[in-house]
Chains A and B, each alone.
Chain A
Amino acid sequence: MAKPKPIMIDGEYREVSPNAKIIDIVPKDVNSITSYDGTLIPKADFARVDVPHGFETNLSAINKGG
């Protein structure tokens, strides 16, 4: 089993599932959070997952099929 991930929310230490996203952890009425480096994360990003590391994300030029 994967090890729990340690996190701090408002100074409180917690351990969560290694796959947990922000939406799984914060209460439903929270509309935004500020990360430790001062970045504001809006609610729309709580469920966002990152594109796997190293993957090319701009595929817009690969669009021919005729």
Chain B
Amino acid sequence: MKITINMSATLMERINTHHLAPGKRFESLSYVWARVVHSPTGSIRVVIPHNAPVLFFAPDCFISQSAGNVRLAPEVLNGMLVKFAASSFNCLVNVHDHWFDAHTRFSNADDRDDLEFDQYLRRSFEPMLVKHPHIGQARAIYNLSIVLAQKACDARLIDSRESSPFQPVNTINLIGGHFGHLNTSRKELQQMNKEMFNRQVDFIPADKQDLLTDINVALVGCGGLGSILAEDLGRAGFGEVDLFDDDKLELSNLNRWQGGMPGDVGKFKADLLAERMRRMFPHMRVKAYARSIYAERIEQAIAFNDIIVAGLDNDEARFFLNRLSLQYSIPYFDSGVAITGCVDTTDFRSRYFAVLPGVTACTECTGFKLYDKEQVRDASADEATARSRRAAGYVMDQPQVTSPSVYFVNQRASSLLVQELLNYVCGWRATATTILESWRNGVFQRADRDNFPETPDPECPVCSYYAGAADVEPLPRPRPFLKQVPINLFSKPHTQEVHHG
């Protein structure tokens, strides 16, 4: 069972400041409320967004607090648990520190304390919720423990009902201006990989190259742009890619679909791309999902990746991925192209944007207009609402037209994105949030965290209400895929989709 925590770097910094302040000579305890989701394969992801509730306690909340021990007063602990019960969170994260250590592991005393608290949760607290639902909805509660030291931390899930009650956390992704990644089980790069990447070692140092092999990328869209993005990711050294696309290759795609051959026409793009990727990069873990991204299981499959990369043809999917990015705290990188004008006015334009949950504005609250918001909202509104909105003039019907598309412009868009993605991981310079390139006008406009330090709008519902909601809130699916059912917190399916592909 793989356990990953997606945690806001800003929140981690606040917690570190509280626990590891210079000159502090006593242990502290704090709590964070989070959400846990399960993958169909049994992996667990803990989502801790920038606005997750954090409880720091005043000194009089403890019945004892010394250099190596801390204990909350029972009435404070119970007060906190009652508030937690009334919330929609399902994971209690207790954080304590070994302020005296640079690197640390859980001690025997930690084992005893964690088990004691977990037994209380299982034997008293969870049954109490079943018996008194007015206090809070009965649900499975996850008990996570983090111990901080000056230069590292350790984390584990606890379940005292299991024969092995401690399940170590494999990875902590820190979602900040750059990508932070703490891995307790990282393996050394294999010899073949070392040689393969020796021409990039000057700017991707060995530890970052190792890190790339640990990162799982969800590549959404395996069309003209996606086919180039996939190869770019493989050649950069990313270790795992999940490919999502329910389209089949057509003859008219062959002017731009990297590696496409006439004999491939009629096959699913995701499957074809996966096959090629496995041949090119035998060390890479590649999975193909030739189904709509709006299918519920596909949502989970995307949500269990560390980074989302998209090369899409429609804005409804961008609207969907923006929400998915915020709800599961996953950085989202997107690129697109447009060919405008004709013959002597032709322009080749490429665009890139990134959403770093809790750090940057999302596609809904940024100062850049990345898509027509009325159009995408209309696409996911129910039939009656959509009719009313059209009648009121909010949305205009737009004819479906075949857009010009060509290989070399897709290459530029892919290059923009992968260069910035590597920058996000390696930290060469401030991460770009938006880039525009226009060939005709000789324009290259790069907005990054230095020249445009835009933060989430506090009134943006996606960056506030939906942040960290994981699967508690349904994602905005286009009308043909959406049949709303009553929302039931803590149970998985809120939507039923019509699948195709």
Chain B, residue nearest A54 (CB): B445
Using a CB-CB cutoff of 8 Å, which residues 17-66 of chain A contact chain B?
Answer: 43-44, 47-52, 54-66
Which of B137-145, B282-290, B335-343 faces chain A?
B335-343
The main secondary structure of chain A at its interface with chain B is loop
Question: A52 and B451 in contact (CB under 8 A), knowing A60-B369, A65-B312?
Answer: yes
Q: In the complex, which range does the number of interface residues on chain B fall in?
A: 35 or more
A56 in contact with B336 given A65-B224, A65-B311 (CB within 8 Å) = no
Q: How far is the CA of A59 from the CA of B335 in the complex (A)?
A: 11
Q: Is the interface of B mostly helix, strand, loop or mixed?
A: mixed
Bound Cα distance from A22 to B280, whole angstroms: 52
Contacts of B350 in A (CB 8 A): 62
What is the size, in residues, of chain A's interface with B at 8 Å between Cβ atoms? 21
- The answer on a CB contact under 8 Å between B436 and A65 is no
Residues of B within 8 A of A51 (CB): 367-368, 447, 452
A64 touches B453 (CB 8 A): no
Instruction: List B contacts of A59 (CB < 8 A).
Output: 351, 353, 368-370, 434, 436
B410:A47 contact, CB within 8 angstroms: no
Known pairs A60-B370, A63-B371. 20 more at Cβ < 8 A? Answer: A49-B452, A49-B455, A50-B367, A55-B436, A55-B447, A56-B445, A58-B368, A59-B368, A59-B369, A60-B369, A62-B350, A63-B318, A63-B336, A63-B351, A65-B224, A65-B336, A65-B337, A65-B413, A66-B253, A66-B311
**Residue ranges of B at the interface with A (Cβ–Cβ < 8 Å):** 221, 223-226, 247, 253, 310-315, 318, 335-338, 340, 349-351, 353, 367-372, 403, 405, 410, 413, 434, 436, 443, 445, 447, 451-455, 457-459
- Which 7 residue pairs are nearest across A and B when measured between Cβ atoms? A66-B223, A65-B225, A66-B313, A65-B311, A62-B351, A62-B338, A44-B459
